[in-house]
Structure formats: structure tokens, C-alpha cells
Amino acid sequence: MQGLSRYRSTFFIVLLLSLSVFVLTKCTGKDKKAPAGAKTANVTGANIGSTSCAGCHADIYNKHIKTAHFLSSRPATEESVMGSFAEGKNTYAYTPLLKILMHKTDSGLYQSVYYKGERKKDIRFDIVTGSGSKGQTYLYWQGNKLFQMPISYFTAAAQWSNSPGFPSDRVMFDKPITTRCLECHATAAGLLSEPDVKHEEFNRDQLVFGIDCEKCHGGGEKHVSFHTANPAEKTGKYIINQANLSRQQQLDMCRLCHDGSIKKITPSFSFKPGDNLSDHFTTDSMSATSVGNDNIDVHGNQFGLLKSSKCFTQSTMTCNTCHNSHENERGNLALFSQRCVSCHKEEHKTIPGLSAAQASSITANCIDCHMPSKPSRTLTLFLNQQETPAVAFVRSHYISNYPEEVKKYIESLAKKK
Ligand code: HEC
Ligand code: HEC
Ligand code: HEC
Ligand code: HEC
Ligand code: HEC
Ligand code: HEC
Ligand code: HEC
């Protein structure tokens, strides 16, 4: 299988280079079990921006702008940067002699390096990545190149921290931001240089912040001009609705960014809604048998974990079974639990260790016992003057039985009384 899909992938790169995208999407659409009416990328038009959707889809638009997706990259402003610029809270010290001060002036927000009390270098916050549920990392422009700033923000500790993966004893300025980073955190990048050179260059005016409508639905130009001209038409045209795609295509749309193990074989931003992921990435994510409760990193790999769960292998669920992409539902565990119960109506009249009265409370929270938050191995960073790294917790999508979590849950119930 593997060899075959590699071969196919290479074949498609050649096709991509020599033929039009139109031909490509026609070919890839053929072997799909997509329901009748499935649409692929060739139906959509150019990107025109999400504000153009607001007029006719106001309800979706107004909710979507509050999601982590939409807020995942933004211009840096006093409002979007979560860290404090107040004296006493605005310093990160690498060593007693080497520190960075976060401060603001009339021309913007800055990270300034001080060595032995002397100011050596200023870099300006230009872009925020991260809605901030776990943290934020900041980017700055140098000409047409983008770099990651040395200091990030870690929400769980409510303070500035060393950027993830950065050295803890010196300041690093030269970590380039790649198209792949922007592919996951933005809608469009406007690449100026050749793709995948060491320092890719971008057109600032063509960077479209956030993960927006057109990232998942395809460019809206034809759709909007058609419906503007035909206001009586009640069937959506020239746009992709995930609900009409095959299970695999729906999963592929989310895996583009939520499958930690894929590796690209076409330039970033080649994948379009409705495409097959395997035409753009090697998709041999880890095997189901290697997944245990603790032996794999949960960061960014919701797909790999979910795919190993019985819920997934014994049903036709997709990410969209539990997630509504248009709404910020973070923290609403009762709502997510209702989605479990839509398939699991009968389970759990009892749980060993719980009284019948206690057991009745669990219907509002299937999540903490079966999808516990686990420490990420990649979202680790150093807080000011700490020698051991702090770790962000991520929900495991390996839906299973976790005896330790059950114990914790039962103890927390006992405490509440
Ligand atoms: C001039 C009005 C108008 C604008 C502007 C508009 N749409 Fe639509 N859209 C419609 C109508 C009408 C439908 C069909 C009824 C429905 O599903 O709401 C539709 C349906 C859709 C569907 C479902 C299609 C299907 O096959 O079921 C999607 C997805 C969609 N629009 C996305 C967008 C996006 C993204 C934008 C902005 C780029 C946008 N729309 C802008 C009028 C509009
Ligand atoms: C373009 C890349 C991309 C695509 C495509 C994408 N996501 Fe995400 N998703 C992200 C990023 C990046 C975050 C983290 C956003 C943040 O907090 O800054 C995220 C966060 C989330 C979250 C957490 C939301 C929260 O409130 O914290 C959920 C749930 C999610 N995505 C589900 C999905 C589903 C379902 C799909 C497919 C329909 C999807 N994503 C497609 C990149 C993507
Ligand atoms: C393969 C897609 C992908 C790439 C590449 C990627 N990220 Fe992410 N990033 C995510 C997802 C998905 C999340 C949500 C957390 C999770 O699922 O682990 C996330 C979370 C984050 C967060 C925390 C967001 C929050 O609100 O808690 C920051 C900050 C971040 N990424 C910055 C970056 C930067 C900077 C780069 C490039 C140097 C990058 N990421 C590369 C997908 C990606
Ligand atoms: C992260 C991916 C993602 C983003 C971003 C996104 N959508 Fe959707 N959208 C979906 C999915 C998935 C569905 C299908 C839901 C289902 O299974 O019914 C959908 C369905 C729709 C539909 C069909 C009707 C409905 O309510 O299901 C419309 C219209 C729509 N989206 C408009 C928009 C608009 C407008 C925006 C931006 C403001 C947007 N979407 C942003 C993933 C996304
Ligand atoms: C689309 C239907 C569907 C949804 C939604 C769903 N499951 Fe499942 N789940 C299944 C099926 C099918 C199985 C396998 C048969 C069984 O054990 O009942 C399963 C198995 C399980 C198991 C047993 C796992 C094992 O390894 O033995 C647990 C625990 C579970 N689900 C919990 C949940 C929780 C919690 C949720 C919500 C977060 C959920 N499920 C959502 C269909 C679903
Ligand atoms: C069986 C239901 C279910 C399915 C299917 C599911 N999720 Fe989730 N997901 C959840 C629950 C529950 C949470 C925790 C929500 C919370 O804490 O607010 C969650 C959280 C997330 C988060 C935030 C993680 C964090 O800790 O910040 C992301 C990202 C995410 N899901 C992406 C996905 C993607 C991508 C898929 C498909 C591969 C998917 N989910 C499929 C139930 C599901
Ligand atoms: C207090 C922790 C806890 C909560 C909360 C919880 N479960 Fe469970 N669940 C367990 C344990 C423990 C098992 C192992 C089965 C056993 O020993 O009875 C289990 C087993 C299961 C199974 C496997 C099939 C079975 O009956 O053995 C499913 C499906 C399941 N749970 C679904 C759910 C759903 C849906 C919810 C929310 C309504 C939920 N669970 C809430 C602890 C919990």
C-alpha cells in the first residue's frame, strides 16, 4: 500500500507541474466514495476574504470570529498580545546579566535585549500566533522575511516565557518562519521566494490572518458573485460544504493541520478543500498498535490518536461528529458529552467505586474519564528563572479507559460534598 501511494503521490506532483489543477481534481475525485454531489476544489473561485461572507451568513460569521481558528494569527496590538508590559512583570532573565524587556513605545511593542544593563537590540512585535488558550508566540518582519521572537507567553502560568524549543542560555533571533507554519496558522501567505528555501519571503499585504472561511470552504469569489446576482437561488453553488464530502475528505481537511505525523511532498498551501491529503503529504502516521495511553505525544496529533480509538474504528465518525467548526465550544464538557451519548445511550448505569447517585452526575462529563488532558511533549517551555520546563496539557483523542483518571474523578466528586 505504502509503495503504491508514494508512487501515486510522485505521479501527481508531475501532473501538478505539467497540467492544470482542474485536471488534477478531476482525477483525484474519481476513486472517492464521496456521496453524490461531492464537490472538489475545481468548483470554487479565488479567495476574497471572510468579510464578504458576513452579509449572507451573518450568524456563522459572528460566531466564527470568536473561535480559536479565527484568532490563531493576528496583527500584534496591545489587545492581541496577552503578556504584560507593566513594570515588574515585563522581564525575562536568561542569566543575571542577560535579559529581555517587553515594552511599548509610540511606534509599537518591543522585545529589547539587555546585556550587563546595556540595551543591545530591539525587535518589534508584528504578528501574534496562538489564540492564547495555551499560549502565544510572536513573529517579526525583517524585510520580507519572518522570524520567531525569543520570548513567548504561557497562559497556564500567566507570564512571559522562553519560546518553545529555544535555547535557555542565549537569545535566538534567527529562527525563520516557514510556509508550513503559516499554512497551519493562517489562511494565505503570499510567498515571494521559491518555496522551501532556507529563508522564505512573503508579501506582507497578501498575508491573510487566522484560519478563515475560505481555508475550509475554498475561495468564495464565484459563489459570492453568483448568489449576489441570483438572490432567489436557495442552493449554494461554487463552494465546498464539508458535509457533502466523503468521510476521508472531511478528515483530510482537518488532518492538514491536526495530524502531527504527516510530511509534505508538495509546497505548502497546495492542498485545497476537497483534495486528498495523500496527494500532498506522506500520510503514514503511526500505526494503531503503537498507540497506548501514554507512549505518544498528544500535541497536534488529534487524528493519530482518534484513529486508534474504538469509537473511530467501529463507526463512521469524523472530527465534525463532535466539533462544530463555526463556534467556540471550548470548555463546554456537557455539550461534548451529549455528542458521546448520541452513540452511547446505554452504557454506564454504574461505575465501580461510585454510588448510584454519584453515577448519575457523570452524564454531564464523559470527557475527563475517557479523554483526559495529558502533558504535551512538544509544547514545553522555560519560565523565568526555572530550570525544569513547564508543560501545556492537551486533550487526548485516544478515547479509552484511564483507571488513574477515574480515580481522580471519583476523588474530586468526594471533595465536592
Ligand atoms: C450573496 C449572498 C451570499 C454570500 C455573500 C455568501 N454566500 Fe454562501 N450561500 C449563499 C446561499 C443563498 C447559500 C445556500 C443556502 C444556504 O446553504 O445557506 C449559500 C451556501 C453556502 C454554503 C453551503 C453550500 C452547500 O453546498 O451546501 C457554504 C459552505 C457557503 N455558502 C460559504 C460561503 C462563504 C465561505 C462565503 C464568503 C466567501 C459565502 N458563502 C458568501 C449566499 C451567499
Ligand atoms: C489551517 C490549519 C487548520 C485546519 C484546516 C483545521 N484546524 Fe483546527 N486548529 C488549528 C490551529 C492552528 C489551532 C490552534 C488555534 C489556536 O488556539 O491558536 C486549531 C484548534 C482547533 C480546535 C481547538 C479549539 C479551541 O477552542 O481551542 C479544534 C476543536 C479544532 N481545531 C478542530 C478542527 C476541525 C474539526 C477541523 C476540520 C474541520 C480543523 N480544526 C481544521 C489549525 C487548523
Ligand atoms: C501541522 C500544523 C501546525 C504547524 C506547522 C504549526 N502549528 Fe502551531 N498549532 C497547531 C495546532 C493544531 C495547535 C493547537 C494545539 C494542539 O493541537 O496541539 C497549535 C498551537 C499553537 C500555539 C498555541 C496556541 C494557543 O492558543 O494555545 C502556538 C503559539 C503555535 N501553535 C505557534 C506555532 C508557530 C509559531 C509555528 C511555526 C513556527 C507553528 N505553530 C507550527 C498546528 C500547527
Ligand atoms: C475549520 C473549518 C471551517 C471554517 C474555518 C469554516 N467552516 Fe463552514 N463548515 C465547516 C464544516 C466542517 C461544515 C459542515 C458541517 C456539517 O457537517 O454539517 C461547514 C458548513 C458550512 C455551511 C453550510 C451550512 C451549515 O451551517 O452547516 C456554511 C453556510 C458555512 N459553513 C459557512 C462558513 C462561513 C461563512 C465561514 C466563515 C465565517 C465558515 N463556514 C468557516 C468547516 C468550516
Ligand atoms: C459516532 C458514534 C460514537 C460517538 C460519537 C462516540 N463513540 Fe465511543 N464508541 C463508539 C463505538 C461504535 C464503540 C465500540 C463499541 C463499544 O465499545 O461500544 C465505542 C467505544 C467506546 C469506548 C470503549 C473503548 C475501549 O477501548 O474499550 C469508550 C470508553 C467510548 N466509546 C467513549 C466515548 C466517549 C467518551 C465519547 C464522547 C467523547 C464517545 N465515545 C463518542 C461510537 C461512538
Ligand atoms: C468523540 C468526540 C470527538 C471527536 C470525534 C473529535 N474530538 Fe476533538 N475534542 C473533543 C473533546 C471532548 C475535546 C475537549 C474540549 C474542551 O476541553 O473544551 C476536544 C478538543 C479538541 C482540541 C483542543 C485540544 C486541546 O487540548 O486544547 C482540538 C485541537 C481537537 N479537539 C481537534 C480534533 C480533531 C482535528 C478531530 C478529528 C481528527 C477531533 N478533534 C475529533 C471531542 C472530540
Ligand atoms: C468516573 C469516570 C467515568 C465517567 C465520568 C464516564 N465513564 Fe465511561 N467508563 C468508565 C470506566 C471505569 C469504564 C470501564 C468499564 C467498567 O469497568 O465498568 C468505562 C467504560 C465505558 C465504555 C465502554 C463500554 C462499557 O460499558 O464497558 C463506554 C462506551 C463508556 N464508558 C462511555 C461513557 C460515556 C458516554 C460517558 C458519559 C455519559 C462516560 N462513559 C462517563 C469511567 C467513566
Mean pLDDT by 10 residues, the chain (417 residues): 34 33 32 41 83 97 98 97 96 95 96 97 97 96 97 94 90 94 95 94 96 96 97 95 95 92 91 94 60 48 91 97 97 95 82 76 88 80 78 89 89 75
Ligand located closest to 326 CA: 4
- Domain of 186, in residue numbers: 71-206
Phi and psi, residue 93, nearest 5° = -105, 125
Does residue 276 sit in the same domain as residue 294?
no
| Helix pair angle (2-18, 21-30), 10° resolution | 150
Does residue 347 sit in the same domain as residue 389?
yes
Q: Give the Å distance between the CA of 290 and the centre of ligand 6.
A: 21
The structural domain count of the chain equals 3
268 burial level (CB within 10 Å; 0-12, 13-18, 19+): buried
Phi and psi, residue 160, nearest 5° = -65, 150
Does residue 197 sit in the same domain as residue 117?
yes
- Name, in order, each residue with C-beta under 8 angstroms of 290's C-beta and a sequence gap of 6 or more: 296
* pLDDT, position 387: 77
Does residue 79 sit in the same domain as residue 185?
yes
Our answer on whether the CB atom of 254 is closer than 6 Å to any ligand 3 atom is: no
pTM: 0.92
Does residue 338 sit in the same domain as residue 376?
yes
Does residue 265 sit in the same domain as residue 321?
no
Does residue 301 sit in the same domain as residue 406?
yes
Domain boundary among 232, 264, 285: 285
Our answer on whether the CB atom of 325 is closer than 6 Å to any ligand 2 atom is: yes
Q: Give the Å distance between the CA of 241 and the centre of ligand 4.
A: 7
Does residue 76 sit in the same domain as residue 139?
yes
Ligand 1 atom nearest to CA at 244: 26
Does residue 113 sit in the same domain as residue 196?
yes
Does residue 53 sit in the same domain as residue 83?
no
Q: Could you tell me the CA-to-CA distances from 255 to 6, 169, 196, 283, 351 in Å, in that order?
A: 18, 36, 21, 9, 34
Q: Give the Å distance between the CA of 395 and the centre of ligand 6.
A: 7
* pLDDT, position 89: 95
Does residue 19 sit in the same domain as residue 141?
no
Domain boundary among 206, 235, 258: 206
Q: Give the Å distance between the CA of 196 and the centre of ligand 6.
A: 31
* pLDDT, position 23: 31
Does residue 346 sit in the same domain as residue 404?
yes
Phi and psi, residue 167, nearest 5° = -65, 155
Domain boundary among 232, 254, 285: 285
Nearest CA to ligand 5 atom 43: 311
